[in-house]
Chain A
Amino acid sequence: MDFTPNPADEAFRQEVRSFLQANLPADIARHGKRDSHSARADIERVMKMLNSRGWSAPHWPKENGGTDWSPRQKFIYLEEMRRARVPVLDRTAIDLVGPVICHFANDAQKQHFLPQILNGDCFWGQGFSEPNSGSDLASLTTSARREGDHYIVNGQKIWTSEAQRADWIFALVRTDPAAKPQRGISFLLIDLRSPGVEVRPIWSIDEVLTLNETFFDNVKVPVENLVGEENMGWTYAKKLLQFERTSSAEIPHIKRDVIQLKHLAATTMRRGRPLAEYPPFAKRIAELEIKVMALEWSVLRVLHAEEGDPSLNAVASVLKVRGSELFSDVSDLAAMAMGAHGTAVIPDTEGPHNMRPELDAPPVTDPEAVGAPQRAMFRKAATIYGGANEVQRNIIAKGVLGL
């Protein structure tokens, strides 16, 4: 054990901070307060800004357009991105399909897709879940039948985040119905403009549109869009989750949310004094912050571990459960810190896809407050997506404790 901080890390933090201060356009930083549900046009501009510096996807291998930064530096980069209110980017592309392409795709696929992702020219959806295959994902039935140079895809995906703004979708499809459930699945890249694809909106409880159903009706997909080998899709999908095993902890995001929460508590008045001075609420914030510290140090442990260190299986599984809980809790407290207006729907006039943008909002002008109540509603999803927390507990019980 040696916890002496590396002074180079602080210099690196300053470098990222200055870059963002100098280059992030003001209108985008203003929109970034929404924290998710970013507009495509904003993301495109940010990606070009980052790409000019080679910082679009620092965690990718360097030869694919990533960086050779230390794990700690990559973490600092994410912290600074959140702190500066850079809108949430196309994480489906950068964190999910990108690394899979880097590791398992052929050269032609890499050359075709990776530069477009890095430059923000190609947006992605994730087609894993189906109406009858959620936690039990391996039971999925969307099929891909080989016909000459094509697969013919039929079926339905659901909960495809941001498919309404995406160009492509990566999908798990069944290519061998006779094999064991996990064996007969392939990883296919599908152009959403192909004939037979239909994307339908699903409005979520925050009255914003990011969720969709994606239907495939005899969609022709060229075989060159298969990633890796046929029937190996399950393996790649599992790997995909391991590439970024610390990202589900959402620490950079939560830390930014804590700054925002404190801001709201410090500026909202309660009976003539700032809410921050009201002990029951101040105590809630303190208890949350302590939990965030424990989670952050768990992330640091994983980041500093040797790749494949088995003692870390435990920590990695912990991150999703606790991270998603805190991600949800911090948004609740932020809305509560607004007092009465913390219950109001505040349509974001500059944001995309509000359900009823024509309705008025209460006179909430602090940019840190805009959207906070609806975010608290949407964050209830964090403990469901990415492997629901009950399923995570099953994994810990079986995989770590051997129960």
Chain B
Amino acid sequence: MDFNHTEEQTALADSVARFGERDYDWDSRRKLARSPEGYSPANWATFAELGWFGAGLSEEEGGFGGGPEGTAILFEGFGRMLLLEPVMAHAVLALQALAGLPGNERRTDLVEQAVMGDPVMALAHDEAEGWGLVSWVGTRAGQAGGAWRLTGGKIRVPGGQAAGQFLVSARLSGSIDDTDGIGLFLVDGEAAGLTRKGYRMVDNHLVADLALDGVEGELLAQGPDALAALTRATHHGIAAACAEMLGAMDAALWQTRDYLLTRKQFGTTLNNFQALQHRMADMLIEVELSRSMLFQALAAMAGPEGERDRALAAAKVAISNSGIFVTRNAIQLHGGIGMTEELMVGHFYKRVWVLASLLGNADHHLDQFMDHTPIEPVPADIAALG
């Protein structure tokens, strides 16, 4: 076991940090948030050149060898700079779903296309009542005139406005939460019958609800294959969200530290008040425990299914809760200025608020964790001790 970055991982972390410093200062980011696209297509092209889209895939799978650790490094950096570009939608949710498909030429082509970054892809999977359950798919797929046609609705699709192509989950058979009977389809962003209702989330990321009315789609996988791809996308998405929350809360903590050292009240800088020191210590504790939690999730991702699911659920619960605690207190310790749109610190809270809700909120994941964590009498060898 090694917690240190390898050479490649250091290089990746450096490249993200450099981009954040040079090209993503707070002023530029605020301007982007007000632009019609809500992100910068020029940055998008840069990310493709830097190889970031393939950073979370092994070389055999068509990526650059990073795996979930690569994804985590990228997204921790994104959390620090509050990146707006829909990288999670494209390079994690969509690309990991593609990489999770059974191997064939079509998959290879699509993975290659996604690693290049054009067009932007998004995974349209969540539905209004699913609340994070991967097998919850009510959108129906049926065959008509030799083509698959999808009808139903998808909610809060990350990257839903930017996407030129969607991966859409739809049900071929069974009831709405059956693990079997799901299909995964490729749908063109301009397809007839597809209506996007775009909107802005509190963190300034643009998303869309989709209405599908007999939309034509290409079937990429069905049954257990489709579920495996969706599960894989969700798992990598959770790891990315956890890493991004970690980056955001860490940055919020240290920005608050700097503020306490300069802001004066009652004739002294705020850092001299023990109530605030102790709050900051508690915030640091949550940040460090979140980092440990991310490590355990990454470690479990290559392991057996049950342990992996349990570890990811635990991470989503713990890091969401810690992230909200830290970023909310970062606002509190700034006082009124922390409430302003102009200052960065309040935006960390907003991003964590959204990430905590994406891909199943803390309640959902606590429930999942409990399903994987039996409450049992002591093992026989201990019971025998009397």
Residues of A within 8 A of B285 (CB): 318, 321-322, 396
Residues of B within 8 A of A402 (CB): 257, 261
User: Measured between C-beta atoms, what is the minimum distance from A382 to chain B in Å?
Assistant: 16
User: Measured between C-beta atoms, what is the minimum distance from B308 to chain A in Å?
Assistant: 12
A72, B3: Cα distance in complex, Å? 13
User: Measured between C-beta atoms, what is the minimum distance from A349 to chain B in Å?
Assistant: 14
CB–CB A282/B375 < 8 A: yes
In this assembly, does B6 line the interface, its C-beta being within 8 Å of a C-beta of chain A? yes
Which chain A residue lies CB-closest to B2?
A2
CB–CB A304/B385 < 8 A: no
CB–CB B1/A300 < 8 A: yes
- What range describes how many residues of A lie at the interface? 35 or more
A394, B279: Cα distance in complex, Å? 10
Which chain A residue lies CB-closest to B368?
A286
Which chain A residue lies CB-closest to B365?
A290
Which chain A residue lies CB-closest to B294?
A297
Binding site for B on A (CB under 8 A): 1-6, 21, 26, 29-30, 32-33, 72, 83-85, 259-260, 262-263, 265-267, 274, 276, 282-283, 285-287, 289-291, 293-298, 300-301, 304-305, 314-315, 318, 321-322, 367-368, 390, 392-394, 396-398, 400-403
Total A-B residue contacts, Cβ distance less than 8 Å:
161
* Count of residues in B whose CB is under 8 Å from the partner chain: 51
CB–CB A263/B317 < 8 A: no
CB-based closest 3 A-B pairs: A3-B299, A397-B277, A297-B292
Given contacts A2-B1, A401-B284, 19 further A-B contacts (CB under 8 A): A1-B72, A1-B295, A2-B6, A3-B295, A3-B298, A26-B385, A26-B386, A260-B378, A262-B376, A263-B376, A266-B375, A287-B317, A290-B317, A297-B293, A301-B3, A301-B292, A396-B280, A403-B257, A403-B277
Which chain B residue lies CB-closest to A403?
B271
CB–CB A294/B318 < 8 A: yes
CB–CB B281/A396 < 8 A: yes
CB–CB B370/A282 < 8 A: yes
Contacting residue for A262 out of B290, B291, B375, CB 8 A:
B375
CB–CB B375/A393 < 8 A: no
CB–CB A3/B302 < 8 A: yes
Which chain B residue lies CB-closest to A298?
B292
Which chain A residue lies CB-closest to B253?
A401
Which chain B residue lies CB-closest to A256?
B382
CB–CB B288/A4 < 8 A: no
In this assembly, does B373 line the interface, its C-beta being within 8 Å of a C-beta of chain A? yes
A-B pairs with beta carbons under 8 Å apart, 21 shown: A1-B72, A1-B298, A3-B295, A30-B385, A84-B382, A259-B379, A262-B374, A267-B377, A274-B375, A282-B370, A283-B366, A286-B366, A289-B314, A290-B314, A290-B366, A294-B292, A294-B293, A297-B292, A300-B292, A300-B295, A401-B277
Residues of A within 8 A of B290 (CB): 294
Which chain B residue lies CB-closest to A300?
B1
User: Measured between C-beta atoms, what is the minimum distance from A385 to chain B in Å?
Assistant: 19
In this assembly, does B296 line the interface, its C-beta being within 8 Å of a C-beta of chain A? yes
In this assembly, does B289 line the interface, its C-beta being within 8 Å of a C-beta of chain A? yes
CB–CB A390/B293 < 8 A: no
